[in-house]
Amino acid sequence: MASSSHANPHAHAGDHAHDHHGAPAGLAKYLTTTNHKDIGTMYLWFSLVMFFAGGAMALLIRAELFQPGLQVVQPEVFNSLTTVHAIVMIFGAVMPAFVGFANWLIPLQIGAADMAFPRMNNWSFWLMIPAAILLFASFFVPGGAAGSGWTLYPPLVIQGGISTDMTIFALHILGASSIMGSINIITTILNLRAPGMTLMRMPMFTWTWLITAYLMIAVMPVLAGAITMLLTDRHFGTSFFNAAGGGDPTMFMHIFWFFGHPEVYILILPAFGIMSQIIPTFARKPLFGYASMVYATASIALLSFIVWGHHMFTVGMPSAGQLFFMYATMLIAVPTGVKIFNWIATMWRGSMTFETPMLFAVGFVFLFTLGGFSGLVLAIVPVDITLHNTYYVVAHFHYVLFPGAIYAIMGGTYFWLPKWTGKMYNETLGKWHFWITTIAFNITFFPQHFLGLAGMPRRIPDYALQFAEWNMISTIGAFILGFSQLLFVYNIVMTIRSGKKAEDKPWEGADSLEWTHLPTPVPYHTFETPPVIKPLAHQH
């Protein structure tokens, strides 16, 4: 105690020194920064770039699928586009975006001065650069980028060329980055909360991230193990996934999906958190059923470990297995439903306004639920037999991923932009962005349900004639959707450049610390001495 109390002046001296004098400027600042706000910002920009890169690939995919026949790319290039599109969107766009939010918001929401491990925090970000380089470079090596689909099933992936190894090592590095990031986040939440900020007083966003980080630490290493075995099967003559040697390709699927299903909840739980911040704010009413929201999130996370088999109903597993995985999967509808209902109950008897963040929130609740239902349809084993690996699945996961994850990211960006930049974004432009995106999204992906039901397989560059109409419509929607995202970028850039000043609490109903305890824009250092938290009105 004694030692540390006289240590702190040092600490602060040191820190102010670097703040005001001799602080590296420009890019150098970002290379060496240990500030959670800088790092959060870097994560968010990185994610935006990746979103456009992955989206550009999606547009190439859609262009090829505009009509029957091969017009745009060779079949194997199409497979590469599909594969890298998925990896970039999941590991490059969505996950980093949520880590960016975590960096910016968690310390502010729990009254901490920064993340627990500022240097490791910066490393987690900068690790993504070599990974991205490996991934994109793989397009330009002989044979082209990996074309096995993002699920990397052997033996197909064993046939793959050097690009497959680049993808594998890229994923190893991304895994390391995610694990470090998650450890940092968990430690921050568990150990750096301000006095009085009990777990059950934490804002929902922080809660969902606590659980997400746990999921990541649990499953990222499993993915690393799986792809390591792919590597040794490819190059060192092991036979984990080779029947001739006593292994089994199905073994890979089990290990991969043990990671893969929790992964998809890693992509959605932080989104749930963001929704639970936005909806109460614009309903001007505390979140309904806070405790049940926490328990629901936790049960979703726990259930996610025992449902992976629903991706493998057609491998020929015993009925007992199919039944178990079907029941477990269906069960997830219950806690997820609880969250949906709580959000709607939060709106109930509220006093709502519909600024852009709220529009994205409402769009989220509506369209995510739609995606959830199609998921439930897929969970029914016999139905999945006809729908597995058709466009119905593609429609399902884009409904949960775009109006799910991406809407949360965009809504959250509009929501916190004033706090981050001190400037207000252009509301009309934001509303336009929401409506065009929502309409275009449905034009793109709703018809894919029909394609799937009619039996169109996924991951094909060319298709039979009865699929032509819906594909053409889907492609047209996709291009509108894609280019309408430029509005988002434009709005952000203009806000930073020339947005009008935002007041400290631009949102009347906001009640978490970053709004109630801090000026706008937030200073470079916050809560150097932690605030003391009293229970909020609704928490007794």
Residues that bind Cu ion (CB under 5 A): 261
Q: Which does 86 bind (CB under 5 to 8 A by kind): other proteins, Cu ion, ligand HEA, none?
A: ligand HEA
Q: Which residues 6+ apart lie within 8 Å of 344 measured at CB? A: 365
366 binds other proteins (CB under 8 A): yes
Q: Which stretch binds ligand HEA (CB under 6 A): 55-63, 273-281, 344-352, 417-425?
A: 55-63
Q: Which residues 6+ apart lie within 8 Å of 155 measured at CB? A: 241, 242, 249
Residue placing its CB nearer to ligand HEA in the complex, 34 or 442: 442
Q: Which does 194 bind (CB under 5 to 8 A by kind): Cu ion, ligand HEA, other proteins, none?
A: other proteins
- Decide if 119 is catalytic: no
116 binds other proteins (CB under 8 A): yes
Shortest reach from residue 531's CB to other proteins, in Å: 10
Residues 275-304 that bind ligand HEA (CB under 6 A): none
Beta bridge partners of 500: 424
57 contacts 81 by C-beta, under 8 angstroms: yes
What are the backbone dihedrals phi and psi of residue 336, each rounded to the nearest 5 degrees, phi first?
-65, -40
Classify the C-alpha dihedral 273-279-284-287 as positive or negative.
Answer: negative
Q: Which does 150 bind (CB under 5 to 8 A by kind): other proteins, ligand HEA, Cu ion, none?
A: ligand HEA
Q: Which member of 12, 201, 254, 458 binds ligand HEA (CB under 6 A)? A: 458
- Decide if 172 is catalytic: no
- Of 280, 115, 109, 292, the residue nearest 203 (C-alpha): 109
Q: Which member of 125, 214, 241, 397 binds ligand HEA (CB under 6 A)? A: 397
- Of 352, 194, 341, the residue nearest 282 (C-alpha): 352
182 binds other proteins (CB under 8 A): yes
Using CB under 6 A as the binding criterion, the count of chain residues that bind ligand HEA stands at: 60
Closest residue to ligand HEA using C-beta atoms: 55
486 binds ligand HEA (CB under 6 A): yes
Classify the C-alpha dihedral 432-489-140-150 as positive or negative.
Answer: negative
- Decide if 19 is catalytic: no
Torsion angle in degrees (nearest 10) through CA of 455, 456, 459, 465 = 150
- Of 367, 313, 497, the residue nearest 422 (C-alpha): 497
Residues 341-370 that bind ligand HEA (CB under 6 A): 369
Instruction: Please compute, for residue 474, the number of CA atoms within 13 A of its CA located in the half-sphere on the CB side.
Output: 27
Record the tokens describing residue 91, joined without a space: 């590991």
**34-60 b/e with 16+ CB inside 10 Å = b?**
bbbbbbbbbbbebbbebbebbbebbbb
Residue placing its CB nearer to ligand HEA in the complex, 36 or 62: 62
Residue placing its CB nearer to other proteins in the complex, 298 or 376: 376
**Distance in angstroms (rounded) separating the CA atoms of residues 485 and 483:** 5
**Distance in angstroms (rounded) separating the CA atoms of residues 445 and 470:** 10
What are the backbone dihedrals phi and psi of residue 117, each rounded to the nearest 5 degrees, phi first?
-130, 85
56 binds ligand HEA (CB under 6 A): yes
**Bond from prior residue into 155 cis (ω within 30 degrees of 0):** yes
Q: Which member of 55, 92, 144, 422 binds other proteins (CB under 8 A)? A: 144
Output the 3-class SS for 466-503.
HHHHHHHHHHHHHHHHHHHHHHHHHHHHHHHHHCEECC
What track of x and - describes contact with other proteins for positions 65 through 84 (by CB under 8 A)?
-xxxxxxxxxxxx-xx----
Choose the catalytic residue: 33, 177, 182, 437. 177
Using CB under 8 A as the binding criterion, the count of chain residues that bind other proteins stands at: 205
Shortest reach from residue 474's CB to ligand HEA, in Å: 6
61 binds ligand HEA (CB under 6 A): yes
Q: Which member of 49, 52, 369, 504 binds other proteins (CB under 8 A)? A: 369
Residues 29-58 that bind other proteins (CB under 8 A): 29, 31-34
**Distance in angstroms (rounded) separating the CA atoms of residues 377 and 319:** 18
In this structure, the number of other CB atoms found within 10 A of the CB of residue 457 comes to: 15
- Decide if 178 is catalytic: yes
Shortest reach from residue 395's CB to ligand HEA, in Å: 9
Name the 3-class secondary structure at 390.
strand
**Distance in angstroms (rounded) separating the CA atoms of residues 169 and 205:** 31
Name the 3-class secondary structure at 290.
helix
148 binds other proteins (CB under 8 A): yes
Q: Which member of 172, 201, 431, 517 binds other proteins (CB under 8 A)? A: 172
The CA–CA distances, whole Å, from 272 to 124, 203, 240, 472 equal 23, 12, 38, 33
- Decide if 498 is catalytic: no
- Decide if 257 is catalytic: no
Shortest reach from residue 250's CB to ligand HEA, in Å: 15
Residue placing its CB nearer to other proteins in the complex, 377 or 424: 377
219 contacts 178 by C-beta, under 8 angstroms: no
Q: Which member of 36, 37, 62, 234 binds ligand HEA (CB under 6 A)? A: 62
Q: Would you please indicate which residues are annotated as catalytic (active-site) residues?
A: 85, 114, 150, 177-178, 261, 263, 265, 276, 310-311, 336, 339, 458
Q: Which residues contact ligand HEA (rule: CB under 6 A)? A: 51-53, 55-56, 58-59, 61-62, 82-83, 85-86, 89-90, 94, 149-151, 264, 267-268, 310-311, 329, 332-333, 336-337, 340, 369, 372-373, 375-376, 378-379, 384, 388-389, 393-394, 396-398, 400-402, 404-406, 444, 458-459, 478, 481-483, 485-486
